[in-house]
């Protein structure tokens, strides 16, 4: 281990646990607590990846989840961010963006073409001639994109959890910890979140060796971790801000959806690179990146260093290098005679040469840094005439900061450029959003602590409901920590602004000169900030360049709002668990016991048929035949069941349904058809009258909630005196249908079942097997049938009694599929299958259900009055010849007339009762009424002839459901 330092006081390593792993086929070891990058650096592997466009060698840069040129690939994951991914035993990694091997990348040649690949090259070159574009697109796609996906994926689900707090503090650095403590002491329930595995923020790397910081670190960390009102969440990052302070916290075990009363953003600043020729060579890194390597992972990032600085922090970094035993050749300060504080004095005492008023003109080296060219700098450009050369293998850049303001922008904050600090700072924050620390321009430790207290007090006042005028500038620094122009032109370029996309200074200048003078336009044309780091180290310099070229201020140039997520979040975490609640009927266990195949129906599971999957067709046929010739029992508990009570109950139902309900006699039911304002069918069911002021309404399985909602709205809208009770869940229902239905029920009930006493469409209440029930004579399946509504608790008992008592009649349970065949034989429609989102009752051949003459009003009546004369299509019945054995038409197959679409099949099934295929089709008029034969285009493309016919197909007079079936059967 060539680059590992002796134990550092705050290091994350557990040196007792050694992990073996491989990278690019070679074996390495590291410690628990290493990141992949730090473990590789410890072993002397400084080449970590290749850049996206030119496949240039790249190394470590920030160690802050911005090192997007060190992306790695394992067998089952891609774009692994080596700088922050914790090392695990047995990892087998290779570099992502490599053609061949990392060392011998076959795409290195692309760099030599860079002169011919100006910004916008792809947009300008490949769109003409158009017919070649698919070819070029394939070629470009092969080169573009990062990583490869294992297509033999398995579904992985990561459960989400939900959190609540008064105050969410994002960032556990000095100001964030102070803010959390102050707010928690004031009694708030605080959550403190930080993306790093340990709290402390820059206190633990930038100020790791600073004596003044030690007692503050101790006080804050013990205070925060021991406080009853603070929940600390390390290894979680706030991925985005959503309305009303809803913040997803992404961590190793998935997402916590945190609902906060207020949010303090103490997210700090992101160090920005200096732009000079070959500023991307491995060995050139952010000062803070090197400090992270030293303090967290005990890595010596180089042997002989040069520090480029435009602030006090650079001098602090140079001191840290010295302490780590690294030779510091020089500090190069961009400014002449600037006040750099006590760290600069300490460095002077160590006799380290400081070269003021100079910049790095160029970095040099073959594959990694070997020397830098230092030249005088006047704040705008370098004079290379008097340049000097300094050999070094490490160059730290400490030239400025950009606020980690992504979440503030998402929340609608306004930031403005501050000429004192040379940094974008929050100017106006939305209600409940607060900011403190370096993000807010507080740079010294004292300022950061004071700013954390201020933000916490503001947040407390906000949560108490007090109106406040926060003084955001109260604790801000009075001197700059960023240089306004750390950007050095070079005639031969390769001075990179965006390491994600290999954008050079000239690319942005050219884009601006081509007229892309708006930050949003230049972003899309040049792709600056569109790579994996989302501009975290490129946007600030990009804005500086654009502002300079177009001659406007930073504020006038504007900045872009980074969308969520702040860092990439695995799709499995976003998806969470499959969360689709399923409702089960009280008879669910009975269905399973009888071998039912279950299907989804709205929110419910219902038996599709009873039998083995390979016996689907014969099972359905047997069930149909049982209903037609003996007895069938179907669970219809999923129907909506609503009690409607009150003096205005009849008025409500008259207004809500097409047909008149106020004229139903007590103890009788009527078909109920509901349409919307435009006259489109939305639901059907039955309405039964229990008493003068009391009705019982059923609705279809999937529309029952909406029907309840509609009825309850009409009560408010029309000012009616009605009460509704939705009993869908507390009542079970089953339909006993078949010629023997009455014979079976008669001995079990106290209700008089005689045809005169309880006619078709009648409704009676009484006892059945000692259970209180409501019986309704229904005809949906076209046989003598009794729908039995009863309390769910008793449903299984009654089901068992009916099944055992019905055995002598050959009773069978039947499922949804058999019911579909049975109702189709009767020509009854299913709303949503035979109708669609535009079907009105005239089209559905239900003009009989629209009493325009006798009813002055119901919802949808004005539309239907207009539509009656404009009916343009109609639902008709059709059949295929008996014994037809050709290709079978399916639902949604199109009716074709003269080569044009003229309709579609909505239902089709084999009718065992008729011995042929029958169906319903929605067909354009006048074809629907005039034609003797229609053509259907089936899957193979053939046209099959179907024969329109009258409805219903079976028992046209309805004798079987209305008469005493002992005779007809």
Partner 1 sequence: MKLFDCPVIGKRPISEFDYCGEVRRPPLDADETAWADFVFNRNGAPQVLREWWYHRPTGRWYIMERDTLKDEVQRFIDPQEVRYDIPA
- Binding site residues, partner 1, CB under 8 A: 242-244, 246, 257, 259, 651, 654-655, 677-678, 705, 708-709, 712-713, 716-719, 724, 726, 856-857, 862-863, 866
Q: Which is nearer to partner 1, 152 or 578 (CB)?
A: 578
Q: Which is nearer to partner 1, 337 or 719 (CB)?
A: 719
DSSP 379-417: SS-B-GGG-EEEE-SEEEEES-EEE--HHHHHTT-EEEE
Q: Which is nearer to partner 1, 161 or 966 (CB)?
A: 161
What are residue 904's DSSP bridge partners?
894, 922
- Distance of closest approach, residue 410 Cβ to partner 1, in angstroms: 14
Q: Spell out the residues 6+ positions from residue 627 whose beta carbon is closer than 8 angstroms to its own.
A: 737, 738, 781, 783, 812, 814, 818, 822
- Give a three-class secondary structure readout of 609-654: EECCHHHHHHHHHHHHHHHHHCEEEEECCCCEEEEEECCCHHHHHH
Closest by CA to 682, choosing from 634, 640, 725, is 640
- Distance of closest approach, residue 712 Cβ to partner 1, in angstroms: 6
- Distance of closest approach, residue 732 Cβ to partner 1, in angstroms: 21
- Distance of closest approach, residue 600 Cβ to partner 1, in angstroms: 20
- Distance of closest approach, residue 633 Cβ to partner 1, in angstroms: 32
Q: Which is nearer to partner 1, 278 or 858 (CB)?
A: 858
CA distance 287 to 394: 10
- Distance of closest approach, residue 862 Cβ to partner 1, in angstroms: 5
Q: Which is nearer to partner 1, 676 or 891 (CB)?
A: 676
Quote the Cα angle for 197-202-208, to 5°. 100
DSSP 507-549: HHHHHHHTT--SHHHHHHHH-TT-STTTTTTTHHHHHHHHHHH
- Distance of closest approach, residue 17 Cβ to partner 1, in angstroms: 41
Dihedral class, residue 209 (left if φ above 0, else alpha if ψ from -120 to 50, else beta): alpha
Closest by CA to 122, choosing from 139, 97, 105, is 139
Q: Which is nearer to partner 1, 139 or 709 (CB)?
A: 709
- Distance of closest approach, residue 254 Cβ to partner 1, in angstroms: 17
- Contact indicator for 742, 788 with CB cutoff of 8 Å: no
Q: Which is nearer to partner 1, 749 or 839 (CB)?
A: 839
- Distance of closest approach, residue 243 Cβ to partner 1, in angstroms: 5
Give the 3-state secondary structure of residue 704.
helix
Gap between the terminal Cα atoms of the chain: 93
Q: Which is nearer to partner 1, 615 or 710 (CB)?
A: 710
Q: Is 841 exposed, middle or buried (0-12, 13-18, 19+ CB in 10 A)?
A: buried
> Looking up tokens 């009560």, which residue turns up?
715
Q: Which is nearer to partner 1, 421 or 724 (CB)?
A: 724
- Distance of closest approach, residue 845 Cβ to partner 1, in angstroms: 23
- Distance of closest approach, residue 467 Cβ to partner 1, in angstroms: 16
How large is the C-alpha radius of gyration of the chain?
38
- Distance of closest approach, residue 678 Cβ to partner 1, in angstroms: 5
CA distance 148 to 74: 10
> Looking up tokens 């949503």, which residue turns up?
832
- Distance of closest approach, residue 516 Cβ to partner 1, in angstroms: 31
- Give a three-class secondary structure readout of 347-359: HHHCCCCEEECEE
Indicate the pairing of strand 873-879 with strand 943-949: antiparallel
- Contact indicator for 204, 299 with CB cutoff of 8 Å: no
- Distance of closest approach, residue 583 Cβ to partner 1, in angstroms: 15
Q: Which is nearer to partner 1, 118 or 412 (CB)?
A: 412
DSSP 663-674: TPPTTBEEEEEE
CA distance 269 to 202: 10
Q: Which is nearer to partner 1, 730 or 866 (CB)?
A: 866
Closest by CA to 259, choosing from 229, 228, 238, 230, is 238
- Distance of closest approach, residue 428 Cβ to partner 1, in angstroms: 16
Closest by CA to 863, choosing from 717, 674, 661, 675, is 675
CA distance 79 to 532: 9
> Looking up tokens 């992101």, which residue turns up?
270
Q: Which is nearer to partner 1, 570 or 862 (CB)?
A: 862
CA distance 623 to 781: 12
Q: Which is nearer to partner 1, 489 or 693 (CB)?
A: 693
Sign of CA dihedral 330, 336, 342, 345: positive
Indicate the pairing of strand 433-435 with strand 604-610: unpaired
- Distance of closest approach, residue 667 Cβ to partner 1, in angstroms: 24
- Distance of closest approach, residue 321 Cβ to partner 1, in angstroms: 48
Q: Which is nearer to partner 1, 106 or 713 (CB)?
A: 713
- Contact indicator for 426, 407 with CB cutoff of 8 Å: no
Q: Which is nearer to partner 1, 29 or 678 (CB)?
A: 678
Quote the Cα angle for 683-688-689, to 5°. 140
Give the 3-state secondary structure of residue 121.
helix
Q: Which is nearer to partner 1, 513 or 563 (CB)?
A: 563
Q: Which is nearer to partner 1, 156 or 713 (CB)?
A: 713
CA distance 451 to 437: 6
- Distance of closest approach, residue 655 Cβ to partner 1, in angstroms: 5
- Give a three-class secondary structure readout of 930-968: HCCCEEEECCCCCEEEEEEECCCCCCCCCHHHHCCHHHH
Q: Which is nearer to partner 1, 223 or 576 (CB)?
A: 576
């Amino acid at each position: 281990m060539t680059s590992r330092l002796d134990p550092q006081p705050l290091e994350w390593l557990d040196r007792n646990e050694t992990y073996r792993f491989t990278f690019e086929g070679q074996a390495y070891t590291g410690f628990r607590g290493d990141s992949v990058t730090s473990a590789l650096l410890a072993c002397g592997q400084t080449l970590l990846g290749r850049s996206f466009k030119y496949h240039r060698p790249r190394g470590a840069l920030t160690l802050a989840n911005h090192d997007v040129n060190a992306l790695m690939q394992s067998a089952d994951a891609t774009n692994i961010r080596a700088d922050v991914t914790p090392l695990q035993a047995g990892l087998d990694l290779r570099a992502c963006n490599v053609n061949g091997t990392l060392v011998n990348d076959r795409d290195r040649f692309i760099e030599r073409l860079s002169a011919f690949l100006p910004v916008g090259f792809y947009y300008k070159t490949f769109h003409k001639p158009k017919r070649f574009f698919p070819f070029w697109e394939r070629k470009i796609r092969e080169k573009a994109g990062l990583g490869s996906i294992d297509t033999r994926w398995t579904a992985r689900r990561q459960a989400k959890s939900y959190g609540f707090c008064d105050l969410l503090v994002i960032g556990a650095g000095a100001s964030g910890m102070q803010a959390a403590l102050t707010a928690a002491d004031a009694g708030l329930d605080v959550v403190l979140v930080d993306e790093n595995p340990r709290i402390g923020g820059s206190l633990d790397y930038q100020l790791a060796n600073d004596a003044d910081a030690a007692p503050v670190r101790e006080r804050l960390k013990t205070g925060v971790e021991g406080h009853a009102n603070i929940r600390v969440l390390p290894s979680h990052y706030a991925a985005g801000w959503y309305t009303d302070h809803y913040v997803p916290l992404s961590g190793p075990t998935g997402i916590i959806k945190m609902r906060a009363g207020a949010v303090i953003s103490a997210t700090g600043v992101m160090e920005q690179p200096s732009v000079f020729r070959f500023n991307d060579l491995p060995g050139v890194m952010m000062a803070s990146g090197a400090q992270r390597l030293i303090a967290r992972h005990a890595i010596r990032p180089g042997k002989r260093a040069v520090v480029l600085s435009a602030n006090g922090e650079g001098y602090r970094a140079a001191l840290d290098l010295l302490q780590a035993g690294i030779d510091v050749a020089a500090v190069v300060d961009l400014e002449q005679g600037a006040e750099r504080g006590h760290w600069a004095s300490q460095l002077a005492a160590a006799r380290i040469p400081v070269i003021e008023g100079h910049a790095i003109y160029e970095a040099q080296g073959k594959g990694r840094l070997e020397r830098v060219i230092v030249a005088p700098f006047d704040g705008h450009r370098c004079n290379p005439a008097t340049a000097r050369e300094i050999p070094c293998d490490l160059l730290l850049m400490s030239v400025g900061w950009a606020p980690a303001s992504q979440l503030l922008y998402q929340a609608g904050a306004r930031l403005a450029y501050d000429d004192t600090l040379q940094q974008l700072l929050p100017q106006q924050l939305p209600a409940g959003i607060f900011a403190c620390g370096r993000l807010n321009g507080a740079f010294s430790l004292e300022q950061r602590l004071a700013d954390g207290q201020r933000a916490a007090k503001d947040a407390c006042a906000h949560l108490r409901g007090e109106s406040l005028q926060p003084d955001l500038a109260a604790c801000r620094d009075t001197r700059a920590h960023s240089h306004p122009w750390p950007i050095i032109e070079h005639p031969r370029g390769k001075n990179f602004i965006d390491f994600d996309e290999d954008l050079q200074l000239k690319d942005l200048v050219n884009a601006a000169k081509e007229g892309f003078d708006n930050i949003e336009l230049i972003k899309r044309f040049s792709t600056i900030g569109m790579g994996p780091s989302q501009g975290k180290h490129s946007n600030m310099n990009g804005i500086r360049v654009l502002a300079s070229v177009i001659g406007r201020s930073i504020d006038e140039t504007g900045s872009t709002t980074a969308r969520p997520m702040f860092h990439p979040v695995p799709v499995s975490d976003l998806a969470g668990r499959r969360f689709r609640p399923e409702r089960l009927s009280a008879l669910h266990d009975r269905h399973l016991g009888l071998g039912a195949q279950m299907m989804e129906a709205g929110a419910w599971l219902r038996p599709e048929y009873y039998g083995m999957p390979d016996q689907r067709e014969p099972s359905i046929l047997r069930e149909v035949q049982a209903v037609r010739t003996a007895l069938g029992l179907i669970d219809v508990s999923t129907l909506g069941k609503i009690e409607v009570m009150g003096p205005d109950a009849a008025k409500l139902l008259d207004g809500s349904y097409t047909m008149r309900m106020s004229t139903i006699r007590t103890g009788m039911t009527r078909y109920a058809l509901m349409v919307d304002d435009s006259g489109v069918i939305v639901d059907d069911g039955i309405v039964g009258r229990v008493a003068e002021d009391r009705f019982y309404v059923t609705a279809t399985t999937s529309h029952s909630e909406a029907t309840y909602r509609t009825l309850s709205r009409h009560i408010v809208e029309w000012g009616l005196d009605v009460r509704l009770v939705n009993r869908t869940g507390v009542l079970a229902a089953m339909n006993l249908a078949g010629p023997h239905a009455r014979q079976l029920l008669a001995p079990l009930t106290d209700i008089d079942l005689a045809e005169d006493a309880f006619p078709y469409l009648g409704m009676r209440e009484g006892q059945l097997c000692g259970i209180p029930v409501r019986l309704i004579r229904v005809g949906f399946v076209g046989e003598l049938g009794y729908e039995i509504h009863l309390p769910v608790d008793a449903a299984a008992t009654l089901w068992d009694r009916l099944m055992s008592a019905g055995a002598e009649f050959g009773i069978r349970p039947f499922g949804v599929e058999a019911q579909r065949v049975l109702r189709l034989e009767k020509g009854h429609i299913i709303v949503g299958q035979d109708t669609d989102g535009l079907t009105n009752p005239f089209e559905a051949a239900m003009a009989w259900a629209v009493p325009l003459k006798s009813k002055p009003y119901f919802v949808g009546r004005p539309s239907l009055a207009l539509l009656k004369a404009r009916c343009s299509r109609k639902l008709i019945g059709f059949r295929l010849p008996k014994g037809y054995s050709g290709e079978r038409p399916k639902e949604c197959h199109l009716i074709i007339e003269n080569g044009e679409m003229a309709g579609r099949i909505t239902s089709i099934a084999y009718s065992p009762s008729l011995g042929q295929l029958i169906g319903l089709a929605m067909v354009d008029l006048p074809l629907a009424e005039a034609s003797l034969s229609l053509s259907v285009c089936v899957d193979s493309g053939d046209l099959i002839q179907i024969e329109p016919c009258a409805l219903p197909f079976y028992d046209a007079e309805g004798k079987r459901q209305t008469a005493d079936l002992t005779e007809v059967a």
